[in-house]
Amino acid sequence: MSQCDVSERPASESVAERRYVVAPHLMLEAHDDAHAVVVNTATGARAKVSITAFRMLSRFDVPRTVSDVFGRSDEGRAASRVRALVEHGLLWDAEAKRAAAKPRRRPSPFRFCNAPSYSASGAVADVVVLGVPYDLGGSDNGRDGPLAIRQKSLDYTYMVDFDTRQPAGWFDAGAGVRILEGVRIADADDIPWIHGEPQHVVFERVVETLDELLPPHGVPLVLAGDASVSHAVAACCAGRHPLSVVHFAAEGAAAEREGEAVTVRDVARAMIHVAGVHSVVTAGLREASGYALPPGISEVGATRLRAGDPGDLVAELPSAEHVLLSIDMSVVDVSTPPSGKGMSLREVSDAIHTIGGRHRIVGVVVSGLDPSLPMGHVAAIGACNLALQALHVATLRRVA
C-alpha cells in the first residue's frame, strides 16, 4: 500500500486553472478519524491518505477546478494538495485525453495453495495461476469452480523453506516422492468478465493477460469455469510454441461448430483452427462422438485408455514437443459408488504422467467443476490433486 503524502507543495498556476476528477475505479475501502484507505479496483492498488485529503478528493466527484471547489481565496493553498493527489493517480486531469484502465484482473478471496500473489513474486514464477470463471460455453454452472478449487487447495499449503528460501513442494505419499520442490508458484487472481460481453472479448483478455503475466518459461495453470476457455489458453501457448492439445472430457466433439462462440462441445474443433495448434486429442470419452473428425482431431475413449495403457493416448500425439493439457472435470466419474463409466482420478493422473514423460507440458487448464453438485467437494479436491500432479510433470520436464 502506498502512503500518500499531501503536504503542501509549491503551487502551480496550471493546477489551479484546470479541471480535475476522481480517478475511475477508485473505491473507499476503510477509514477512521485520521485516515482513509482507497483502492483502485482496476489495478488492486491501495493508498492510505489523510482524512483531509480524502475529503478533498471526494469533492471532485465531477470535473471541477480548484477554485470551483475552494474558492479564489484558498486556491493557491489547495492547488499544491491537488497536485499531490494527481501525482499519486487518485485525481485525474479531466481535460487530458487518456483511456481509463479497464480492470484486467479481479482479486480472488483465496490464492491457489495460498501461494504468493503474482504482484509479489510473479515476475520470477515458474507457475502462474489465473482464474477465468467464464462458463457461457456450456450449460452447467462452472463459474464457482475456480473459487472452490482455490479454497480446497488451502489443504495443500505452499511453503517456502526458511533456510534455502526455496519452495518446499509436497510429499506425495502414494508415490513416495517429493513433488514441485523448488517450483515457484504465483497466483494472479481472476480475469473479470462482464455479462453481455461477446466471448471473443473475454478470450482476448485472457490471451493478453497471460501474455503479459507469463515469464518466458512460465507454465500457466488456468482455473476455468468451463472448457471453452481452453481455446484462449491454446491461443496464448501456441503463440509461443507450436503445440498439441490433450483435452480430457467426457463427451467428444460436436458434429460441427455450433455458432460464433466456442462451446464445451466444439472446443476441440475450434482449437484445431488456432494458429500453431497441430493436433487436438480428446481423451477419456465415455462414448465416441460418432462424427467424422477433421484432420488433426482424434478421440481416445475411457474404455480404451483403461483397457490398454495411457501409451495409447500418446500414440495419438504427433511428435510435437509441446502439449497443453485441458482437463474438463467431467472426465472423472464421480458416481458413488464408482460406476466405472468415466475415468477415475488415478487413471487421469496416470495419463498425465505418461504424456509428461514424452512431451513437454506448457500449460494446464482445469475446468468444468460445479461445487454445488453432490460430490462437489470431492471433485474440488480431485481437481487440486490433478492440477498439482500436472504441474509436477510440467515443471520436471522443463527443468530437465
Positions that interact with other proteins (CB under 8 A): 155-157, 159, 168, 170-174, 176, 178-179, 333-338, 344-346, 374-375, 377-378, 381-382, 385, 388
To the nearest whole angstrom, how small is the minimum distance from the Cβ of residue 266 to other proteins? 30
Cross-strand bridge partners of residue 29: none
Nearer to other proteins among residue 94 and residue 154 (C-beta) = 154
Nearer to other proteins among residue 169 and residue 192 (C-beta) = 169
Nearer to other proteins among residue 102 and residue 178 (C-beta) = 178
Nearer to other proteins among residue 308 and residue 374 (C-beta) = 374
To the nearest whole angstrom, how small is the minimum distance from the Cβ of residue 338 to other proteins? 5
To the nearest whole angstrom, how small is the minimum distance from the Cβ of residue 379 to other proteins? 9
To the nearest whole angstrom, how small is the minimum distance from the Cβ of residue 173 to other proteins? 5
| Contact predicate 244/323, CB 8 Å | yes
To the nearest whole angstrom, how small is the minimum distance from the Cβ of residue 183 to other proteins? 13
Nearer to other proteins among residue 3 and residue 157 (C-beta) = 157
326: part of which helix (H) or strand (E)? strand 322-328
Determine the residue type at 71: G
Cα separation, 210 vs 131, in Å, equals 11
Determine the residue type at 352: I
Nearer to other proteins among residue 280 and residue 383 (C-beta) = 383
Nearer to other proteins among residue 236 and residue 334 (C-beta) = 334
Nearest by Cα to 17 from 82, 61, 85: 82
Per DSSP, 114 falls in state G
Q: Where are the alpha helices (DSSP H) in the chain?
A: 13-17, 51-58, 66-87, 118-121, 145-152, 199-213, 230-238, 267-271, 302-307, 311-315, 345-358, 376-399
To the nearest whole angstrom, how small is the minimum distance from the Cβ of residue 168 to other proteins? 7
Cross-strand bridge partners of residue 47: 2, 38
To the nearest whole angstrom, how small is the minimum distance from the Cβ of residue 176 to other proteins? 8
Cα separation, 181 vs 161, in Å, equals 10
Pairing of strands 35-40, 46-50: antiparallel
Cα separation, 310 vs 275, in Å, equals 27
What is the four-CA torsion angle of 221, 46, 40, 16, rounded to 10 degrees? Answer: -150
Nearer to other proteins among residue 45 and residue 168 (C-beta) = 168
To the nearest whole angstrom, how small is the minimum distance from the Cβ of residue 381 to other proteins? 6
Determine the residue type at 250: A
Count, residues in the chain: 400
Nearest by Cα to 184 from 124, 136, 129: 124
To the nearest whole angstrom, how small is the minimum distance from the Cβ of residue 110 to other proteins? 15
Cα separation, 102 vs 83, in Å, equals 24
Nearer to other proteins among residue 147 and residue 262 (C-beta) = 147
Cα separation, 364 vs 388, in Å, equals 10
Nearer to other proteins among residue 266 and residue 333 (C-beta) = 333
Taking CA atoms, 326 is separated from 9, 134, 244, 262, in Å, by: 55, 15, 11, 15
Work out the angle between the directed axes of helices 376-399 and 145-152 (0-180°, nearest 10): 70
To the nearest whole angstrom, how small is the minimum distance from the Cβ of residue 382 to other proteins? 5
